[in-house]
Amino acid sequence: MTSTSDRDFFRVLWGSRIMPKWKLFIWKLWHNGLATKRNLYRCKIGDSSECPICLHDIEDTYHLFLSCPLALEAWAHHNFGMNQNTGNDLSLRDWIRYWLLFFYKADGYQGGQQTGFVGTLWTIWLLRNDQVFRQWRPTTASIHMNLQQSDEQHATFIVERNEQSRMLRDPTTPPGFHLAHLGNQQSGERPLKMQIRAAWDKCNLLTGIGWVISSSPNQHPREYGCFSYASSAIAVVLTACLKAVTWARTAGYTNIIILTSSAQLLQILQSSDYQDINIKWTIDAIRTNDFSFNSCQVIRVCSSQIT
C-alpha cells in the first residue's frame, strides 16, 4: 500500500519541471529497476556483482548513487546544502524522497535544486554506463562536464516547453520543436504535409529546390523540384518555402504543414522585423500566400526527418 509520504513524493515528482525521461529514470530507480551489477547477477546475468567503478563493493543502487567514489565526486560538485551524513540510516528510496520533498518545500515546483538533484543522479548513471559499455573511466573533468551538459539540456527543455508559439494541445506540434503559426487560424482537418529542402552552390549561386507532398499516410508522396539562383543560403530556403506554399495554394489546399530543418527560417517567419532587402520580397510573398490558408504551420524538425 502506498503511504502518504510516497504519494507526496510522486505528486512533487510528476508536478515538477523535470524532463520526462528523468522522471521515468527516477521511477525506475525508486523501484530498483535499473540494471545494476547486483540486479543482473541475481538474474544470473554476468559473473560478478562487483562495482565497475571502484572494483571494491557490490554495485547496488545505494552504493552507486551514494557511496561510490563517482557519486561522492558528483555530489561534491553541486552545492545543494546537502549534508552527506544525512540519510546514512535511510534506504536509497527514503533518501531520494527526503531530499526531493525538502527541495520542494524550499523552492516549490519551479525551484532549480530539484532539477539539479535529479540531474546529478542521471549523470552518475550515464557515467557508470560509459565505464561499463565503453570502458571510459570517469574523471573529475568528465564528471563536471557531464553535470554541466545535463544542466544545459534541462535548461533547453524548459525554454522550449515554455515557448509561446507552441500549442500544448496541438497533436501536430512535437514538444521541443520550433513552430511558426501562419495562415488565419488553427484547423482540426487533416493537413497536407510538405517537406522542403534546398541546396546552394556559393560559387555560381545556383540552387536546387525540392518539396515533397504527403496528403495521407496511404498515398505515395509526390515530389517536385526546380533549379534557380539565389544570393545567400537563407534566400534559398525562403525560396523553397515560397515555392511550396504557392504550389499548395494553386492546388486548392487550405490546411498545410511545412517541415524544414532550418532554424533561421523559423526565426524570420516568427519575426516582423527583417532588415535584409534581398529577402524582404520573398518573405512578403510567403506571408501573402500563407494568409490565404485556413491553417499554415511551419515546423522545424531534425534533418533526418526530411526526405
Please compute the mean of the pLDDT values over residues 159-168 and round it to a whole number.
Answer: 50
Q: Please indicate whether residue 270 or residue 212 has the higher confidence score (pLDDT).
A: 212
Closest CA to 124 of 50, 68, 86: 68
Range with the lowest mean pLDDT among 83-87, 169-173, 193-197?
169-173
Q: In what order do the strands lie in the sheet with 179-182?
A: 179-182, 295-300, 255-260, 192-200, 206-214, 222-229
Q: Which one is predicted more confidently, 132 or 229? A: 132
**Mean pLDDT for the stretch of residues 279-296:** 80
In the predicted structure, residue 219 carries a pLDDT above the cut 60: yes
Which pLDDT band holds residue 166 (cuts at 50, 70, 90)?
Answer: very low
Averaged pLDDT, 112-133:
92
Q: Supply the pLDDT for residue 181.
A: 74
Q: Is the pLDDT of residue 300 over 50?
A: yes
Query: Which single residue is written with the C-alpha cell 557515467?
Result: 127
Determine whether 93 is exposed, middle or buried from the number of CB atoms within 10 Å of its CB (0-12, 13-18, 19+).
Answer: middle
pLDDT at 1 over 50: no
Amino acid identity at 27: W
Output the pLDDT for position 70. 94
pLDDT at 75 over 70: yes
Domains, the chain, in order of start with CATH, read: 4-161 (no CATH), 179-305 (3.30.420.10)
Q: Average pLDDT of 57-86?
A: 84
